[in-house]
Structure 1
Amino acid sequence: MTTGQMTDSTDPRAMARAVKEQLTGPGGPFELAEDDVLGSKLPVFTHRRRAMHELLAESVQHGDRDYIVTADSRLTFGEHAAQVASLARALREEYGVQPGDRVAIAAANSPEWIVTFWATVSIGAISVGYNAWWSARELAYGLQHATPTLVVADAKRAAQLEGSGVRVLTIEGDIPRLAGLHPDGPLPTSDVAEDDPAVILYTSGTSGRPKGATHSHRNLLSVAEYHRMNDALAAAFGDPTDPRDRTYLLVLPLFHIASLHNLAVPRLANGSKIALHTGAFDVDGVLRLIQDERVTNWGAVPTMANRLLAHGDLSSYDLSSLTAFSLASAPSSTAFQERLRNGLPFATNALVDSYGLTESSTAVSVATTADLKEDPGTLGYPIVGVQLEVRDAMDRPVPDGVEGEICVRSAYTMLGYWNDPAATAGAIGDDRWLHTGDLGIVREGRVRLSSRRSDLIIRGGENVYPAEVEGVLMEHPMVRECVVLGVPHEDLGQEVAAVVVTEAPLDAEQLGGFVGERLGHFKVPTQWRFTDRPLPRNATGKVIRREVAV
């Protein structure tokens, strides 16, 4: 049966299933077959690359096509490869970076961020993405935790690193210089294994310290192959667009999987263009970039989408090129999705939602436009290659429609948490099942989330774990007890609130400044309630959060 014959089916779901089976079945271009992954049999892409430098080498074929564009710069695939080759040689020869060494990036989004990433992973070193919103104290923790050989930082973060004792290369000066130092150098390679670490990205820690989710070459290359398969799937359904002619808007930080794993890496793999917005999120600047670069695809957090709605009339911009609009990184309600369809022309027939986490490297499940129409609030079906079970407190799978913890495993799942075997063992079993800590149900194959990790606050797409903020508050000598909660916010989705029991009078400005010196600004409570009454606790001494009023 040919693809053309399959697309004649009148049942869209059966047709999609048939097309996927042809693409991923025996002999298909994206054939999946079981193989050993860290001691477990998992479905893997048969025709996969084994190391990140292989993608870099293949990207040269796209030559003079644009890879990264900003409002005031352009970088072709050929230019990018040459810059990566030069920087990789400098990292090896001048700075002694060896396979397995960590090269950290502490910077806002820029083309140089991406060039540094590719140069690092292509020589077998590990790229560490530090959160650019971290305070100096959090950055110091990151240095101690990942022990990088050197740090690539922009001017703002470089100032925070003064006196740290670590070697710093600047985004604005050193990286452009080193990227042009060896203009005719060969592309880098390295003798790495598929399951060697390639990237460390930090996720806020439930116990108060950020954890370094460690992703392998296999993880990132599997994500790239998944995106290639989606391009093939679109073509099989009659989309005539050459994948290289698509332009993807990159607005979310590069220290997130949404931008790094699912944009920067796959775009290099398939020859499409990244329109990179630099600086703080600015509605007019983003809309201008969409218009000028004819952006076709945009993945936004709900806060960004909400700001588009609040902006009002968008008719002064030509947004006709935008045909794919997805929500990611934070939950969104069915009512909000309906507002987007009614208020944003490009969302009417293109809205997609998904569920994923840093530990999973990419989406766990995706809800298509048709899924959301048929089953509002769903997060769709698990993506190709993902095995998903909902389990009870005894770690047993539960029946269809029964709530439990969402557990997943796949070739996309992280290796574990860097330098934290206890946290790794708590999240991933010997059988490679990842316990997400998220509660949900599966009904007729579709995933629906009940609540994200207990107590997690998602503020504008950024994860804030109360334990981390509470730990800092308890360092203040006048704080006797405290609890940090998420409260609804029209623009951000949630904001951080704190109820504080004090030894002596304190005000929000004092305590907010104390927290702001130690944590990123997005973790600082914006709502406060001070009291001298003890917090309600259960028999084991834990605060009963549901009984606390902000």
Structure 2
Amino acid sequence: MSGPMEVFRRLTGAGGEFELRDEDVLGARLPVFVNRARDLGEVLARSSSYGDRDYVVTASRRLTFAEHAAAVASMAKALRNDLGVRPGDRVAICAANSPEWIISFWATIAAGGIAVGYNAWWARQEVEYALGHTEPKLVIADTKRAALVGGNVLTVEGDLPSLISRYPGAVLDVPDVGEDDPAVILYTSGTSGRPKGAVHSHRNLTSVIEYHRFNDALARAFGDPTDPATRRYLLVLPLFHIASLHNLAVPRLATGTAVIMHEGGFDVDAVLGLIEKERVTNWGAVPTMAHRIVEHGDLSRYDVSSLTAFSLATAPSSPAFKERLRAVFPPAKDALVDSYGLTESCTGVTVATPADLAESPGTLGRPTPGVRLEIRGPDGAPVPVGVEGEVCTRSAYNMVGYWRDPDATARAIDDDRWLRTGDIGMLDEQGRLRLTTRRSDLIIRGGENVYPAEVENVLAEHPGVRECIVVGVAHPDLGQEVAAVVVAAAGAEPAPDELAGFVRERLAYFKVPSRWHITAEALPRNATGKVLRAQVESSLR
């Protein structure tokens, strides 16, 4: 059998199915897949050929590729003809996972619009900010969240059934777009206290599709007899994340593969039951879900033998935990992979195979095809192997920039399209990445990013707070929980419940501190006045 590098060169070299070639992209020379689709409309048009195969399956519903194509064509025509959506208009989706979420996304693309995924856990103030920031032509929301939006909103339950069936027999008529035109905006927490809208182009997403098709071809090259079209992928994470939208719902439309969607909050029994019933083959989970599996108890009553690929993403997990997971959850024993990526990178920057994890526990693996990776020092120059520095990456997957935020874009992406992640890591002799610090102050709670500045800015508005600092502390289930140290204003004694309620009214629930330390003593600071965050963190352990 051919070695890994030989197979890689055959697939991505000149004339290969996944040939990579440097081309001009937004003023820089980047490696691109030669045989990619040129826009998402092309991907959507091809998908109807999969006919009666399952595309989206839930515990109670099935949507075939043909039914999905018909629903999207009808809804896209309604968006254009009846609701006035024009190319470049934003259509925001603020809803829990459902087949209608996916239909709404593709209908927006088919109408020439830009789909904007709002975080379904946001509080009213966060939704109001996003509405002013992206100025959507209309908002699609489920009933639970429609009240947060107000105004021009279409409800999933009340309005979408009509739009989906309004124009039976409608033909897809997708407007022409440029490869680097915006297709999607997904929000990522901002270090300055405001969410930032990462703009992903048609090229970004069609590149991600090719990466997933490449993975299928790689498996075949190494003797996997499974037809990729027969695989069944579990979707549990929210669709406003790149893990579920860019790396599951979108590429599976392109490959004719089923998406098995769990609706509602994560429940171990419901999810394992769905895996058994639908013979799920692939699942990408977050460490919090894996922790709940480990702690669930007897898993033997579920037949999960169909699950042959299991990955962890969105947050770090320790080698020790991975060993505990392998011990109790058979699918993780030989198939567990890990990866490193961020909203701005659209897909994994690096991926660690089972062999990588066995040889180097804690590694996040090697760069994905088409990704160039450097570790840079404070002067911006690459550092040697084994030396810590900022993780910088360059590829056709990386976002175009931040929506209406040229300053933040310039800080994140240089003139040659290198993305500065803000994460600190190092490369080993085999070119594998190991992360040592993730965006310094970032808290990753159950796979969700929480930037302390955002919570601190809200707490600072409370009249009983003189100063405060928010940090992440270890949590056995969530990975980290949010903790706040509050210095009370003179004459004030705010209670934790009062402060938690104040934050909860303004931010998503997962950003509300669950641990509080209220004091009259000033926060420790260095000579320049900066709070000694590490000292505060150590006092809370």
| 2:86 alignment partner, SS class | coil
Residue 454 (structure 1) shift = 1.2
Distance in 2 separating the partners of 1:16 and 1:75: 37
2:121 pairs with 1:133: yes
Contact kept? 1:103, 1:128, Cα under 8 Å: yes
| Structure 2 residue aligned with 1:456 | 442
Distance in 1 separating the partners of 2:183 and 2:159: 23
Cα deviation, 1:389-442, whole Å, max 9, x if unaligned, reads 000011010001100000001000000000100000000011100000000000
Distance in 2 separating the partners of 1:113 and 1:521: 22
2:408 pairs with 1:420: no
Q: How does 1:392-407 map to 2 (within 5 A)?
A: 392-407=377-392
Q: Among 215, 218, 243, which residue is 1:230 paired with?
A: 215
2:212 pairs with 1:189: no
Cα deviation, 1:267-321, whole Å, max 9, x if unaligned, reads 0010110000001111111011100100000000000011011111111111010
- Normalization by structure 2: what TM-score? 0.98
Distance in 2 separating the partners of 1:266 and 1:187: 19
| 1:113 alignment partner, SS class | helix
Q: Among 523, 536, 540, which residue is 2:511 paired with?
A: 523
| Structure 1 residue aligned with 2:56 | 68
Residue 187 (structure 1) shift = 1.4
2:107 pairs with 1:122: no
Q: Among 447, 459, 463, which residue is 2:433 paired with?
A: 447
Distance in 2 separating the partners of 1:531 and 1:305: 36
Distance in 2 separating the partners of 1:88 and 1:17: 44
Distance in 2 separating the partners of 1:176 and 1:52: 24
Residue 540 (structure 1) shift = 2.2
Q: Which stretches of structure 1, 4 residues or more, deviate above 4 A after TM superposition?
A: none
Q: Among 327, 333, 358, which residue is 1:373 paired with?
A: 358
Residue 214 (structure 1) shift = 0.5
| 2:209 alignment partner, SS class | helix
Distance in 1 separating the partners of 2:295 and 2:440: 31
| Structure 1 residue aligned with 2:31 | 43
| 1:112 alignment partner, SS class | helix
| Structure 2 residue aligned with 1:4 | none
| Structure 1 residue aligned with 2:262 | 277
Distance in 1 separating the partners of 2:393 and 2:482: 29
Q: How does 1:113-512 map to 2 (within 5 A)?
A: 113-162=101-150, 165=151, 167-444=152-429, 445-503=431-489, 504-512=492-500
| Structure 1 residue aligned with 2:98 | 110
Contact kept? 1:212, 1:417, Cα under 8 Å: yes
Residue 190 (structure 1) shift = 1.3
| 2:334 alignment partner, SS class | coil
Cα deviation, 1:97-119, whole Å, max 9, x if unaligned, reads 01110000000000000000001
Contact kept? 1:327, 1:353, Cα under 8 Å: yes
Amino acid of the structure 2 residue aligned with 1:306: H
Residue 188 (structure 1) shift = 3.0
Residue 122 (structure 1) shift = 2.2
Amino acid of the structure 2 residue aligned with 1:259: S
Q: When the two structures are aligned, how many residues end up with a matched partner? A: 535
Amino acid of the structure 2 residue aligned with 1:505: E
Gaps of 5+ in 1: 1-6, 10-14
| 1:349 alignment partner, SS class | helix
Higher alpha-carbon deviation: 462-471 or 304-313: 304-313
2:508 pairs with 1:543: no
Amino acid of the structure 2 residue aligned with 1:224: I
Residue 124 (structure 1) shift = 1.9
Distance in 2 separating the partners of 1:311 and 1:484: 31
| 1:336 alignment partner, SS class | helix
Residue 264 (structure 1) shift = 0.3
Residue 80 (structure 1) shift = 0.2
Distance in 1 separating the partners of 2:112 and 2:530: 45
Distance in 1 separating the partners of 2:5 and 2:101: 38
Cα deviation, 1:338-360, whole Å, max 9, x if unaligned, reads 11111111111010000000000
Cα deviation, 1:473-523, whole Å, max 9, x if unaligned, reads 000011000000000000000000000000111111000000000000000
Cα deviation, 1:441-470, whole Å, max 9, x if unaligned, reads 001200000010011000000000000000
Distance in 2 separating the partners of 1:516 and 1:29: 51
Residue 20 (structure 1) shift = 1.0
| 2:44 alignment partner, SS class | helix
Distance in 1 separating the partners of 2:210 and 2:161: 30
Gaps of 5+ in 2: none
Superposition RMSD on alpha carbons, in Å?
A: 0.7
Distance in 2 separating the partners of 1:109 and 1:182: 25
Distance in 1 separating the partners of 2:501 and 2:378: 40
- Normalization by structure 1: what TM-score? 0.97
Contact kept? 1:105, 1:153, Cα under 8 Å: yes
Contact kept? 1:53, 1:123, Cα under 8 Å: no
Amino acid of the structure 1 residue aligned with 2:22: E
